[in-house]
Chains A and B, each alone.
Chain A
């Protein structure tokens, strides 16, 4: 049974992702939101998140590249990133964003730079995980199985 095997792989992989807190409950809730009317909801949101975050990260970089950092603008960007990561359930990104947000409030450029690095790192990690998950989902669907709903 190809789909069973894939499902097993998917569950194993996902449980690691959850255990290491790349994703949290919110992601499973998104999965629950997915139904016949929107069969690719998670994929869509995920992709949206990845694209959006990429842009936001670039924005953050460009703001921090400037000599005089506009912390307010920076904070708005960080908040946005925080919001979307919370929505998708990317917990680690969200956590770093919170630290980032604090750095913005304190106006410490050094801290912001450090956080940016971390956020970029976490983003890449979660991106890889999400992409893998999506790929597996696709495979499972292709094999005729159903994507197992996960839970923390």
Chain B
């Protein structure tokens, strides 16, 4: 479900991203197109502006040029008026005019030529013709018909001489008529008048004819039309070659190639007449400009139309800029998209990683759990295998079979211990291992560990010893199991790797050790010198062999001993600093004289499944997991573990552990139950110990001290004998009866000859009355085989490792004390037998077979069992007062089932209680009879149902010992307190 939504969300997310991308693309395309359009219009507008200005410029110039020409014509008109009419006789003739006109033609480059036509009224025609000597002719060079007036050309420039004598007012209708009108208009207005454009005769260019009136004289500016007509003397005309005019003009100007200029006569607006330019089709008319032209003729209107020759090209920038921007946009989009997808990918990867991490973690936990489960699962059947092997070994087997079975058993045990270790390791890894916090007795744990390895150490002949500083409290709170595990592991290793010499476990207080080491620094130099001496030197250690960090141990041990004594004295009298703190830090060291750890392997000693080298496991067995577990455990206990080792000399593993002091309130009780109970009957006894090795002597003394035996140690037997006699006298005076009763001799001070010697000496002394009783001689040995060597003269032999309880037993036997009365002993190892022994139990079941089996099982544990087959008979038997201590009730019975019977019993009980209130404890105790349900299927008889009808618990049928024990222990314990005493 959750996954589904995630996927859906993902999809939508993905979809969104693409849509955004597409939108972005569209947006940028739109923007670019818009930009392109904008730029194009802008460029068009600019082109238009340029066109306008160019056009205007052209128009203006054309106009100016034209005006200049017109002015010249005007000037010519004035010339004619002046020299032809105001002079008498006229100072002008054809030759002069032509000459003058030709010479001034540079002033009128646009005019092909000029001509002057005189106004001749019909009345004066004959006179005029006579005067001139030629006939007035029409344009078609025919003699002019009769008209009101004529305008024959009398003077003309050479270029247009062909029109001489032609009547300008005659001619073809279509233009001469206009000519005529022009002339009339010119003289009426007094201004230059233009014809409409036509093809000039010579050049075939388009042109116009300019007509300018010449007045006789002195015509005022504001003369009326009539006055002007009257004063008109003639007309000066010129043909304008517009085409070349414009051509010239355009040539002078820049940008000529780009634009097309057309000049039109638009007097008749509906039908513009082309004056210049080619009339192009309207394809390129998109951009054009029209400028009005004023050629000085108010009647005629002209205009100039400009446009680009070519469609203005699309400017490069209007394409490149948008496309550049588009490319940038696309790039930006792509970058965004890529970044987005990358982000998504990374996010997805991250999620996957997280998932994988979780999986890996889960796998790790699962691995540990799997290990734990599998180990557990293996352990269960293995216990069966071992148990069966045990049983097999009890049966009659021949030697070979026995050997096989024993081998199998040893292997099985090894496997079990390995599995346990793996289980521990797995538990530590899974973080499931919790350190308990219960009170325990360190010394007895150490004793246990020592005895565990006693067989091995005896076999190998190595000295195995424990020393716990007196200042370590008896009861500490911590995890005894784990503590034992660590020490067992370390001692086990040491014993395994040691072939001669000793394994020595010491426990001191951390602050004590520190103090001693501080104090000892001055001694170092001396210690060095001592150690450098040859290998034959007997070292001051437990067995006399060199140890790995001998400099520290042997010297400081002595110091510790002495300091311990002195300090404990001072502390006892004065303040005890560490007692303020609740915590005690112990330093435990396990010292051996074994093969040591090769230097190259020392840094991986604590790595699981790593042994010093591969040959180790071949030679010594083991898996190498133990140390790593021990280290973990030590760390869990808040301590540290380290070691020093010298190959072929030995190793010393040291670890610290932080334990809590036991609260004083619970002290006595817990001490009683936790400690291995040592007999107290040796209190005040004295013993003499003969030992050459002070360290070993200290250990022996430690054990004896635990038995409250006062010990004096001497180096040699003679010394001891001397002490004995010396002490005798002294003792007799002050403490009678307190003479040494035990004479402990280390094996290396012993030989059979001395044996006799001692015996004799002792006997002698007794006879002499020096001593009342001959002290018993106890020989301390390391190996079993030494026993034979020892001879029979010793009263007893103790094979090491020493253990307070073993020593106690030995002394008891030897001194004939019998079993020490020790009231403290409470059998706490409560077994079923202990619980049920002598109890009266009623078993109710309708099934005879079940009844029989249950009864037998209970009887086995010492109970007195009575059986009934129905609830009713049970009721009758349980009528109070009754003798029963408990009742086992089947749940399923005909007539009256277990629940019903129980209810009835409870009713009976409460009734009886009301009738006869209890006056003593025992009745009180029996008021509530414990009733346990027996059922074949546990599910049906849930505890609630049992409790509802007044049952105290249930057991499954057939009985399982553990369950039975649990159920029975509950009520028996609760009863025991009032019941005992």
Contact = CB atoms under 8 A, between A and B. Distances in A.
B391 A83 contact: no
Contacts of A86: 850, 936, 957-958
Contacts of A83: 845, 847, 849-850, 890, 892, 936, 957
Contacts of A12: none
Interface stretch (B23-31, B484-492, B852-860): B852-860
B852 A80 contact: no
B395 interface: yes
Contacts of B860: 32-33, 35
Given A52-B847, A80-B847, A148-B395, A38 B957 contact: no
Given A86-B958, A87-B958, A151-B388, A38 B856 contact: yes
Nearest to A45: B852
Contacts of B936: 79, 82-83, 86
Contacts of B850: 83-84, 86-87
Given A48-B852, A76-B892, A76-B894, A33 B847 contact: no
Contacts of A151: 384, 387-388, 391
Interface size, B (range): 20 to 34
B846 interface: yes
B848 interface: yes
Nearest to B858: A33
A88 B391 contact: no
Contact of B852 (A37, A44, A149): A44
A87 B849 contact: yes
Contacts of B391: 149, 151
A41 interface: yes
A26 interface: yes
Contacts of B853: 30, 33, 45, 87-88
A48 B857 contact: no
Contact of B957 (A30, A33, A87): A87
A33 B857 contact: yes
A26 B890 CA distance: 18
Contacts of A29: 857, 958
Interface string B152-194: 0000000000000000000000000000000000000000000
Nearest to A76: B894
Contacts of B849: 45, 48-49, 52, 83-84, 87-88
A89 B859 CA distance: 19
Nearest to B395: A148
Contacts of A30: 853, 856
Given A76-B894, A79-B936, A87 B847 contact: yes
Interface string B357-400: 00000000000000000000000000010011001000100000
Q: Which of A32, A33, A52 has the most CB of B within 10 A?
A: A33
B894 A84 contact: no
Nearest to A77: B894
Contacts of A38: 856
Nearest to A145: B396
Contacts of B856: 30, 33, 38, 41, 45
Contacts of A89: 958
A97 B51 CA distance: 117
Interface string A97-138: 000000000000000000000000000000000000000000
Contacts, number: 68
Nearest to B854: A87
Q: Which of A44, A45, A86, A87 has the most CB of B within 10 A?
A: A87
Contacts of A44: 852
Interface string B419-436: 000000000000000000
A3 B403 CA distance: 24
Contacts of A84: 847-850
Contact of A79 (B395, B857, B859, B892): B892
Contacts of A41: 856
A26 B857 CA distance: 11
Nearest to A101: B937
A37 B859 CA distance: 10
Contacts of B848: 48, 52, 84
Contacts of B395: 148
A80 B958 contact: no
Contacts of B387: 151
Interface string B863-900: 00000000000000000000000000010101000000
Interface string A51-87: 0100000000000000000000000100110111011
Contacts of B857: 29, 33
A35 B890 CA distance: 26
B111 to A, nearest CB: 137
B461 to A, nearest CB: 39
Nearest to B394: A149
A83 B853 CA distance: 11
Contacts of A49: 849
Interface string A19-43: 0000000100110110101100100
Nearest to B956: A86
B720 to A, nearest CB: 54
Contacts of A82: 936
A46 to B, nearest CB: 9
Nearest to A38: B856
A7 B436 CA distance: 49
A71 to B, nearest CB: 15
B855 to A, nearest CB: 10
A86 B849 CA distance: 9
B71 to A, nearest CB: 137
Nearest to A26: B958
Interface string B829-860: 00000000000000001111110111011011
Contacts of A76: 892, 894
Nearest to B894: A76
A147 to B, nearest CB: 12
Nearest to A151: B388
Contacts of B846: 80
Contacts of A48: 848-849, 852
Q: Which of B387, B846, B860 has the most CB of A within 10 A?
A: B860
Q: Which of A45, A76, A80 has the most CB of B within 10 A?
A: A80
Q: Which of B387, B856, B857, B892 has the most CB of A within 10 A?
A: B856
Contacts of B852: 44-45, 48, 87
A149 B392 CA distance: 10
Contacts of A149: 391
B601 to A, nearest CB: 45
A29 B846 CA distance: 21
B837 to A, nearest CB: 15
A80 B893 CA distance: 9
Contacts of A87: 847, 849-850, 852-854, 957-958
13 contacts: A33-B860, A35-B860, A45-B849, A48-B848, A48-B849, A84-B848, A86-B850, A86-B957, A86-B958, A87-B847, A87-B852, A87-B957, A88-B853
Interface of A: 26, 29-30, 32-33, 35, 37-38, 41, 44-45, 48-49, 52, 76, 79-80, 82-84, 86-89, 148-149, 151
Nearest 8 pairs of A and B residues by beta carbon: A84-B849, A87-B853, A33-B856, A49-B849, A87-B850, A83-B847, A87-B849, A26-B958
Interface of B: 384, 387-388, 391, 395, 845-850, 852-854, 856-857, 859-860, 890, 892, 894, 936, 957-958
Given A83-B957, A86-B957, 14 more contacts: A33-B853, A33-B856, A33-B859, A41-B856, A44-B852, A45-B853, A48-B849, A48-B852, A83-B849, A83-B892, A84-B848, A89-B958, A149-B391, A151-B391
